[in-house]
Amino acid sequence: MALATNGNSIRNLRYERGLTYRELAAKAGVNYSTIHRIEHGKRGASVAVLKRIADALGVPVSDITIDVDAEVA
C-alpha cells in the first residue's frame, strides 16, 4: 500500500482546531515551513513526520493521508 499526504485534510483539521502553521509545527516538533509546504503539496513527509502531525491534530495518520493504490484502482 502506498500513501501520499493529503495537505487539504491537514489544513482543514488545523483550521478546525484554530491553529496557525507555527502552533501546529510547535505541537508536532517540526518547522512551520514544513507544515506550509506539506499543506500546499510542495513536499512530501516521512511516516514519522506524518505521525507527529497526526498526533498534534489528535487524529490517526489515516485521516491525513491518501491510499494511492486505492485512488488508482
Question: Domain map of the chain by residue range?
Answer: 3-72
Task: State which fold the 3-72 domain adopts.
Answer: 434 Repressor (Amino-terminal Domain) (1.10.260)
For each of the chain's 73 residues, which pLDDT tens digit applies? 455 788 999 999 999 999 999 999 999 999 999 999 999 989 888 889 999 999 999 999 999 988 766 655 5
- Angstrom distance (rounded) from CA 73 to CA 26: 37
pTM for the predicted model, two decimal places: 0.86
- Angstrom distance (rounded) from CA 38 to CA 25: 11
What nine digits make up the cell of 1?
A: 500500500
